[in-house]
Amino acid sequence: MSDDTESYGFDTLQIHAGARPDPATGARNTPIYQSTAYVFRDAEHAAALFNLQEVGYIYSRLTNPTVAVLQERIATLEGGVGAVCCSSGHAAQIMALFPLMQPGRNVVVSTRLYGGTVTQFSQTIKRFGWSAKFVDFDDEAAVKAAIDDDTRAIFGEAIANPGGYIMDVRAIADIADGAGIPLIIDNTTATPYLHRPIEHGATLVVHSTTKYLTGNGTVTGGCVVDSGNFDWAASGKFPSMSEPEPAYHGLKFAETFGPLAFTFHGIAIGLRDLGMTMNPQAAHYTLCGIETLSLRMERHVENAEKIANWLENDDRVDFVTYAGLKSSPYYKRIEKVCPKGAGALFTFAVKGGYEACVKLVDSLEIFSHVANLGDTRSLIIHAASTTHRQLTAEQQEAAGAAPNVVRVSIGTEDCDDLIRDLDQALGKATS
């Protein structure tokens, strides 16, 4: 395959982008380079690598050839210029914010986020002296009003877990542009097959590769993709990117690396000093999974649409939040944001509240009760008693995780089997 990725379609790129037969052995699949360190050709080569004058491998906390293939694969699928993989989706979020933030700075974030992200942003980042301002992203005036002189980014999920909320990414990107700050989109639940945030104006895209990109629940991982479109030097707000960086002997990343500045910073400082590195085994599993991303997503969406419709018409169910339903307030955004479908993640409310939800979860046979999503297997969780347990009642409600709702991640099994399973379990839960 030539390196001209523009001319290939998504299905081709998800298999080939970034990979080539191994130059040493001809191995067709990307080998797992299970090596911590790489031999320098000579002292001059070593110095050039450490000066970032030459790109190559030094030590696997920074870069690894297997991980590098995955980085290029994800960057290509997202339409970015570069990507840095890391040990988990949560690590990716810290890695995305780290070059932008300092003590006293804040990030404006959507109220509709993964439960763990709400905790990371509302509690843990305070230890770094950072803070997050939670805003309803449907209220554009409120998003604008939340931005102040210390705001360094806006953060939201394209298709928000758990409620299936669809964000108007372009509208929020325009607000970020107006304020001269980057928009970071967590694209985990949409995947680049359903939505490509950079085409809608996002600066950075983060992923939990743990989910759909790997696809079968084997490894945790994360990724930060850079669009290469942001001018880090324009405002003076991002000194770590535009000014001499003391942590890298005074290197000016924006000036030296241009559109690749964020990616180089992520490796040379982020991975070097924070150490949240993806291991080559994890990259291998994710590379295997990502080859079938579009095929899986098509089936995930097809099953989710059928099941959401079936549930909506069942009188044991109070409501279904899936944006792919005509009754959803977000249905009108699908065509603009994710025309191939609204994903496969949604919640539904069971008549009988908290008790019925717990009974439903315990009665299902094919659906697994786990704290995960984006698996080929269908998964269910009662968020209020698990993932969203640490949140206040208002935060639970805002995140779409009230006590009477369960979240499902619809898998790629036979849809009729999944509906039969839900039918019998709803019977037990509401009898």
Ligand X SMILES: *Cc1c(COP(=O)(O)O)cnc(C)c1O
Q: How many CB atoms lie within 10 A of CB 12?
A: 12
- 114 near ligand X (CB under 6 A): yes
Rounded to a whole number of angstroms, the minimum distance from the CB of residue 375 to ligand X is 11
Between 188 and 396, whose beta carbon lies closer to ligand X?
A: 188
Q: How far is the CB of 207 from ligand X (least distance, A)?
A: 8
Residues 315-374 that bind ligand X (CB under 6 A): 373
Query: C-beta of 233: minimal distance to ligand X in Å?
Result: 30
The shares of helix, strand and coil residues in the chain, as percent rounded to the nearest 5, are 40, 15, 40
State the nearest-atom distance from the C-beta of 211 to ligand X, in Å.
5
Rounded to the nearest whole angstrom, what is the least distance from the CB of residue 102 to ligand X in the complex? Answer: 23
Cβ proximity of 271 and 61 under 8 Å: yes
Q: CA Rg, the chain, in Å? A: 22
- Sign of the C-alpha dihedral, residues 47, 48, 51, 57? negative
In the window 254-283, what residues touch ligand X (CB under 6 A)?
A: none
User: How many binding residues for ligand X (CB under 6 A)?
Assistant: 17
Taking residues 152 to 181 in sequence order and writing x for each that binds ligand X by CB under 6 A, - otherwise, the string is: -----x---x--------------------
What is the nearest approach in angstroms of ligand X to the Cβ of residue 411? 15
Pairing type for strands 159-160 and 165-166 reads antiparallel
Classify residue 194 by burial, with Cβ atoms within 10 Å: 0-12, 13-18, 19+.
buried
Rounded Cα distance, 316 and 114, in Å = 27
Dihedral, 26, 28, 30, 32 alpha carbons, nearest 10:
-70
Minimum gap (Å) between residue 95 Cβ and ligand X: 11
In the set 30, 64, 110, 220, which binds ligand X (CB under 6 A)? 220
Contact 35, 28 (CB under 8 A): no
Q: Which is nearer to ligand X, 69 or 276 (CB)?
A: 276
One residue of 117, 214, 227, 263 binding ligand X per CB under 6 A: 117
Q: Which residue is nearest to ligand X (CB)?
A: 89
From CA 210, how far away is CA 83, in angstroms rounded?
16
- Choosing from 14, 119, 188, 303, the residue that interacts with ligand X (CB under 6 A) is 188
Is 217 one of the binding residues for ligand X (CB under 6 A)?
Answer: no
Q: Quick count: other Cβ atoms within 10 Å of Cβ 90?
A: 21
- Contacts to ligand X by CB under 6 A: 88-90, 114, 116-117, 157, 161, 186, 188-189, 208, 210-211, 220, 222, 373
